[in-house]
Structure 1
């Protein structure tokens, strides 16, 4: 829907935009996100998109969009879209391939992982500028003593574990990650036309969200 206050006789009316001119985040040449919102195309109304390019085992970090729901459409490659249902306390995982979608309700914690190289996703939002609240910000900005006290953890170990997180991650693992890690294994799925829930056996279940400054770049 076009914005109702737009003067379509104005010489400043915009009808087209190249998303390559607005990089939201870039990890490297194979893992980056482009953005389109009302600040780039003033005839847009209550809609915006993220143009996501990620390669195998890269993850759009656990996060929420507190002001928007999100429809993830797979153009090429393959990805697993995971979301936490806040009402049932279940982690749901959906594998999407070209032509398939996964829907994330507003405010739900979720993340996306590419299972093959050159995966291309389009995330569509029902907001002119979706707010991105990443778990990396919650972990790095919450004092270690608060986390340790709240969850009965060793404060020194918390500080040591979280020390490498110095900025919003967005696409993980960070490019400078030196820690050896195992690649998550994706369980088999039913071959239905519509994506089906997967077991949570091979996935972490301790993700939450917090404020990120990245949406301000829009």
Structure 2
């Protein structure tokens, strides 16, 4: 139980809030995130949430929450929650449908991809405000020379590849990304194949299974900025 120093007799005490009125990030009308934290609801304690809406192929960019675990609950639609296990060095892909969850331990690298339109996810955190370190920030703020030297890469090519990433992406690909859009959409559709997997959450008998994408889809969607030549 969270220790609270809240004065519950104060007239400023808040017990309710409309999350619809607190936009965190918006890509377009189908892809946006609302947030609820202790900044909006002062009695919330050690909990916060992101209310996430996505259309097919849109990605909550690879990231970590350095201060909280994350429980991803699927309200409608379907998504794949991908997690890198830092102990086994494995990429785990979990397909979730309405009523199903995937849990991301604190500080683990992960991302979510919507596999159908009108996907609605609720991300619940065990911290009063979820902190966030996005892959886009790591890529744009680390000098290309450091990547090139560390991993024995061509610095000019690294710089050219990462140049379009000028701000935090949050939901990718960016709305102004046009390059290879047709090819990437076709590849994404092909990737969502009905192949069995060992990481899929149980599917109820009245639902059609929507299996997770094969690993090669990471190059298509998970690293969407890699094929975008437009400025963000």
> Would you call these one fold, judging by a TM-score over 0.5?
yes
The whole-number CA distance in structure 1 between the counterparts of 2:215 and 2:78 is: 20
5+ residue gaps, structure 1? 209-218
Contact 2:68/2:106 (CA < 8 Å) preserved in 1?
Answer: yes
1:91 aligns with 2:80: no
**Secondary structure at 1:202 match in 2:** helix
Asked whether 1:132 is paired with 2:132, we answer: yes
2:184 corresponding residue in structure 1: 182
C-alpha deviation, 1:204, in angstroms: 2.8
SS of 2:184's equivalent? Answer: coil
Specify the alignment match of 1:68 in structure 2: 68
The separation in 2 between residues aligned to 1:178 and 1:151, in whole angstroms, is 29
1:201 aligns with 2:207: no
Map 1:1-218 onto structure 2 (within 5 A). 4-180=4-180, 181-183=183-185, 184=188, 185-187=191-193, 188-189=195-196, 192-193=202-203, 201-204=215-218
Q: Is the 1:85–1:92 contact (alpha carbons within 8 Å) kept by the matching residues of 2? A: yes
If asked which structure has higher relative contact order (CA below 8 Å, sep 6+), I would say: 1
| Structure 2 gaps, min length 5 | 224-232
* CA drift at 1:165: 0.4
1:4 shift after superposition: 1.2
Residues 2-45 of structure 1, C-alpha deviations (whole Å, 9 max, x = no match): 65111111000101101122111100110000000000000000
Shift of 1:182: 1.9
Aligned to 1:16, the other structure's residue is in SS state: coil
Q: How many residues align?
A: 207
1:76-135 Cα shifts (integer Å, max 9, x gaps):
000000000000000000000000000000000000000000100000000001111100
Q: Deviation per CA, 1:130-162: give whole Å up to 9, x if none.
A: 111100000000001111111111111111111
* CA positional deviation for 1:186: 2.8
**Structure (1/2) with the larger helix percentage:** 2
* 8 Å contact kept, 1:61–1:169: yes
Instruction: Please report the TM-score for the alignment, with normalisation by the length of structure 1.
Output: 0.88
Displaced runs of 4 or more, over 3 A: 197-200
Is residue 192–residue 213 contact of structure 2 (8 Å, CA) maintained in 1? Answer: no
3-state SS of 1:161 partner:
helix
- Whether contact under 8 Å (1:53, 1:119) holds in the other structure is yes
Q: Give the Å deviation of 1:203.
A: 3.6
Question: Contact 1:3/1:44 (CA < 8 Å) preserved in 2?
Answer: no
CA distance in structure 2 between the aligned counterparts of 1:199 and 1:87, rounded to whole angstroms = 23
- SS of residue paired to 1:204: helix
CA RMSD of aligned residues (A): 2.3
